[in-house]
């Protein structure tokens, strides 16, 4: 497939489930946190690539509502990595025209990290080239439950429409993902963008996230470019 064809059919919203950091580290006899650090370095590189390729929205599943069940030391280490990257990389993201946003529940996240997240969102709010959405303490079921409760609290007229519910999602202005990539060979969504992924295309790769590179990204984009999206309609 030609580069021109791929460029003309880029997903507006690319979503990635970042999987395989722990197994990447285990294969190298390294602590799991070393795998997470490698994963964050890779995320920095892939975000820049997505921006350079012209993708308008990039969202990543960085920490789920279920990930709090991991060992306390691992969770604490991940929170420290989030703090480090927000502090060190926001200026660079702004210079690249990237708007940083966070998606998920606020409970359980340490107060100082919440303040950093809000600062980063405010600081990059005017950037227009790419929205970079980090799903942190996110769960698809949690989002739907929270939206339903918010909708009930607003006392809407019945019947309720999809548009009514969507207004109460965490980031209602972000379009549904066109393409969802999952690394490390797992073949499931794991509670990511459950409502929003109704008509998303999927791409699965055996590659662990820290090893995911531009060549792997190009394979996924080429696969997407070769598909015909019909949204339940008949082929023309």
Listed residue (157, 106, 101, 98) closest to 130, CA to CA:
98
Q: Tell me, yes or no, if 19 is annotated catalytic.
A: yes
Please indicate whether residue 164 is annotated as part of the active site. no
Instruction: Please report, for residues 68, 150, 228, the alpha-carbon distance to residue 107 in angstroms, rounded to integers and kept in the order given.
Output: 11, 16, 40
- The active-site residue out of 3, 19, 52, 131 is 19
Token pair 């007229």 is found at 157
Angle at 48 between CA 100 and CA 59, to 5 degrees: 45
Per the residue annotation, which of 67, 146, 164, 176 is the catalytic one?
A: 67
Return d(Cα 7, Cα 11) in angstroms, integer: 9
In terms of Cα–Cα distance, which of 10, 11, 19 is closest to 187? 19
CB of 117 within 8 A of CB of 87?
no
Q: Supply the residues annotated as catalytic.
A: 19, 67
């Amino acid at each position: 497939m030609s580069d021109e064809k791929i460029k003309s059919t880029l997903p507006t919203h690319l979503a990635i489930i970042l999987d395989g950091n722990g197994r990447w580290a285990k294969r190298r006899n390294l602590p799991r946190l070393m795998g997470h650090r490698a994963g964050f370095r890779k995320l920095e590189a892939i975000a820049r690539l997505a921006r350079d390729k012209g993708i308008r929205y990039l969202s990543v599943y960085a920490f789920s509502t279920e990930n709090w069940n991991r060992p306390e030391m691992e969770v604490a280490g991940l929170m420290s990595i989030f703090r480090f990257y927000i502090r060190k990389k926001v200026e660079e993201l702004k210079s690249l025209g990237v708007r940083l946003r966070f998606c998920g529940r606020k409970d359980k996240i340490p107060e100082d990290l919440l303040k950093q997240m809000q600062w980063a969102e405010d600081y990059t709010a005017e950037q227009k080239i790419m929205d970079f959405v980090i799903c942190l303490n996110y769960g698809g079921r949690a989002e739907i439950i929270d939206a339903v409760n918010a909708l009930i609290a607003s006392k809407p007229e019945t019947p309720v429409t999809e548009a009514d519910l969507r207004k109460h999602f965490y980031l209602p202005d972000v379009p549904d993902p066109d393409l969802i990539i999952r690394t490390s060979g797992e073949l499931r969504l794991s509670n990511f963008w459950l409502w929003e992924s109704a008509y998303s295309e999927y791409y699965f790769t055996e590659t662990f996230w820290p090893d995911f590179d531009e060549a792997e990204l190009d394979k996924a984009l080429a696969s997407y470019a070769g598909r015909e999206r019909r949204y339940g309609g008949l082929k023309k």
